[in-house]
Amino acid sequence: MRYLIDFSYSGENFNGYQKQPKKRTIQGEVEKVLTNINGGKKVTIHSSGRTDAKVNALHQMAHFDFDKKITPYKLLGALNSYLPDDIHINKVKEVSLDFHARYMVKSKTYLYKISTLEYNPLLRSHVYQYSKPLNIRKMKKAIKYFIGTHDFTSFASSEDKKEDKIRTIYDASIKEKSGIISITFRGKGFLKYQVRNMVGALIKVGEEKLFYKDIPKMLEEKDRRKASICAPACGLTLIKVEY
């Protein structure tokens, strides 16, 4: 049987999504519980994509094959009974054996939150506590330049060895309410640190240290050294995966 899980996690106390030896990861925790439910036979999960250390997820998706015939309802209950409190399974459903959680993704949506208010320790793991004013009007002008198909070399991590840095962003927007800025990107897929690097550039625009019309120039130069800082991981959440 092949199952698809929709799950959430708070990334604060994880070394990222991907399993690593002797490190606490989301994949490692979920696979450990599934293997136990499967009578000790190894279970490997295949997610829609990896998230970095301290990045959160509201709706991450992953599929896995299971030897036992078990209803999605019972599997959901078993998983949530044994998983740690910072991971929660929202839904479980059976899928066809040719389904793949990564290769069939049509779009992913990421949300980045910034607080311009006084530091609040209750928000520290899910909101970037910038705690200073930003020019939202100019940031809204700047974000429009990211929409479309571009070579995002300038906004990719230098660690990302993928030769193809071309990605498509379908929608991007900025909203502000009660001192919390919400930046949303929806695209086919994203490079390592791409969203955080784009947010870093938007912050510089909001600080008025970067002109919003410099964004297309940065894209054209295809040089990571020309772009801005990488925004902290804590403010980033994967909120939706579409198939």
The H or E element that residue 148 is part of is strand 148-151
**203, exposed or middle or buried, with CB in 10 Å at 0-12, 13-18, 19+?**
buried
**Cα 54 to Cα 14: distance, rounded to the nearest angstrom:** 6
166 touches 160 (CB < 8 A):
no
Long-range contacts of 98-103 (CB under 8 A, 24+ apart): 99/2, 99/4, 99/63, 100/46, 100/63, 101/4, 101/46, 101/47, 101/48, 101/61, 101/62, 101/63, 102/46, 102/47, 102/48, 102/49
Output the six-digit token pair for 118: 């006084």
* Residue 241 bridge partners (DSSP): 108
52: annotated active-site residue: yes
Q: Which residue has the tokens 């959680």?
A: 101
8 A C-beta contact, residue 152 and residue 219: yes
The residues annotated as belonging to the active site are: 52
